[in-house]
Structure 1
Amino acid sequence: MQSDRTDWITVPLTGDLLRGALDLERTERGLLPHRLPARARAQCADGQLALAESQPSGVRLALRTRATALELDVLATKRVYAGAPPRPDGVYDLLVDGHLAGRAGVRTGTTLTIDLATGAMRREAGPAATVRFDGLPDTPKDVEIWLPHDETTELLALRADAPVAPLPDRGRKVWLHHGSSISHGSDAGSPTATWPARAAALAGVELINLGLAGSALLDPFVARTLRDTPAELISVKIGINLVNTDLMRLRAFTPAVHGFLDTVRDGHPDTPLLVVSPLLCPLHEDTPGPSVPDPESLGTGRLRFRALGDPAERAAGKLTLNVIRDELARIVEQRAPQDPYLHHLDGRALYGPADHAELPLPDGLHPDAAAHERIGERFARLAFGPRGPFRDAGAPCARTSGSRGR
């Protein structure tokens, strides 16, 4: 893996070099970033959640150095969905002083084969690989290496041709966001192009992304994670996973939302907290879940999903996106007199009917790369803009070194 250069400095992989992870697992070979702490992971044995939280969306190495070349040895986990089109390799984005300066990827790694029909997973060991960036300016600079948002990545070694130090705290406010696969970054082009990463860059805030594909399910251990994570701004995007997993009925949904928000408030009583309802998704606007892969699409080279529910089942309390939007708006309105820092945003303001006409969801559930960019820019304007609930995000913030997410 390593080149034959003799001037490399081996940089110890320590937590102070990483941002966006809430836990670091020391493995036999290196470090595995996690976006949920060990206590939370221990409370749920779901394989989908384990896969999602180990994919380092928003996790980045943050360095100050004058190095002109960097090498990162990694062991990636490549997903293969049986019968579905091949997935692209994960992307590593290099930022220099906040500007995109390079992209790379690795072709090899552990292979995880997933049966879409049953959820069964089969793992096959594979080799590690090296990501290299060179040709960087020979001047002191801030460098960030954003790890692939959708590819579990074990960090094995870091090398540079000049000394490396952790990037100092720049006084930016921390934005803690929780949501589904769309927040996780599904179908975004790269880790800095997911809509939360795009919004954070425009707003000048530090992102901790708890977007968990298939797993935004009002789990109490996620609420406690939000409660216990230092942040100046918090948003929760609720809805689509509750519908497409057909997890609960309206009777359970309402108190679950209240309980989730109560738990977050236990740790952040005065923090601006934004509740975001689902983006437009015609598949589930008025049709309950579950949603499943459309078998007729598997042979076409483009995976699509379909809804199995019946709109008539809404009368029995089954959830649809319109039901959830109405209830979230009502819940926030009910709580607002006692919680002046609680806010609501209709997700259709981020991606609505006109957007769907121009940029339809390729698989019926997830926005494409262009839509991610649009959603991120709109969120930055609506949440961080002059009238938004996060409008003071640009003000400098003093904090202790432990408050950024590792």
Structure 2
Amino acid sequence: MSSQPGAVSPFRQPKAVWAVAFACVISFMGIGLVDPILPALASGLKASPSQVTLLFTSYLVVTAVAMLFTGFVSSRIGAKRTLVAGLAIIVVFSALAGASGSIGGIVGFRAGWGLGNALFIATSLAVIVGSASGGFAGAIILYETALGIGIAIGPLLGGELGGISWRGPFFGVAVLMAIALVATVVLVAPTPKPQRKQSIVEPLKALRHRGLLTMGLTALLYNWGFFTVLGYAPFPMHLGTHQLGYVFTGWGVLVAFFAVFGAPWLQAKLGIAKALYLNLALFALDILAIAVYTDHKTGLIVAVIVSGAFIGINNTITTQAVMTVSPVERPTASAAYGFVRFIGGGLAPFAAGKLAEHYDVHVPFYLGAAAVAVAIGVLSTGHSLLADAERNQRADAASHGGEDAEEDRLTEQAEAEDVGSSS
């Protein structure tokens, strides 16, 4: 059994961290914001489900490839300018997607959106980890909290705006990201350029490390199941835009809750490796239930909502493990890991649509369940490396715990001296 890494509250942070976290909330809203309008897009633009799922494919595949360039860019212009550039690109391309009149145009503009998303995601995680108080584990929990809140709110807002017009969610993202852009410009202090400029090939070279490659391949398979559910499940539900928004809001609430509370508890009880094995096994069984009950609306909806719990747990534990499983610098590790995992997330929804068209609606989910099951086998090949990652997390938590205890002691001493002098 493993002890819980870190007991310091992750919510005592400087304002710059909160500004980036707020921008993360808005950014992650974009993941689920379009989910409720997928059937409406197919109907309104006379497109097949597989064509509509290209919105995920273009977005995530471009995000994956662009991840390789994030370190190259940020090491030359600094983290803040990279954040601002990513947010600005998202604002422009989300607005263009909303103004588009064809499914091809939207897919193309979502690709541009993915470029901005890559610059923002990789850099925001590095900024939060580098600037947050309370240690590495606390920073990851804060990042996953932002992710969970964004994912939870996104479908609700998407359902409401999509009920007015399918263009509404795209324009909604543009407005919200513009707000996040202003907050980042105002609240995040200018960051110096790193002393060492990173090359484009460094993330690819980082994948030579067995632990990082193992985690990346595991995440690729896991994301195949995740984005099969997220990108294709709205079609067999046969629900209206508002109803789909409510379903995926329930799903997002579970993602947020279990990312913040469930993941630390499970890791404390079982350790990284056993917690991930159990969670992936339960997620595979849940996707299998989706495959079996695809034609039964109630069973399908319940299974989709429940999947949020497993996704939330996996996101938090895996992100922490990736950052400590190898000696690679954290921004490089994040870029390498993101490149591999987003490939799976990008290809899965399109493959799901094609499989459903050529076979039946159950097959995509059977494949998704199988992919997550295979991920367990891949992860087991790096079992000893996960134990090393856990020791690194405990060491980080212990060092920051000591620093915070000393800070609290000095604060209490200063307050006591103030009371004494005033009396």
Give TM-score, length-normalised by structure 1.
0.28
| Greater share of residues in helix | 2
TM-score normalised according to structure 2 size: 0.27
Which is strand-richer, 1 or 2? Answer: 1
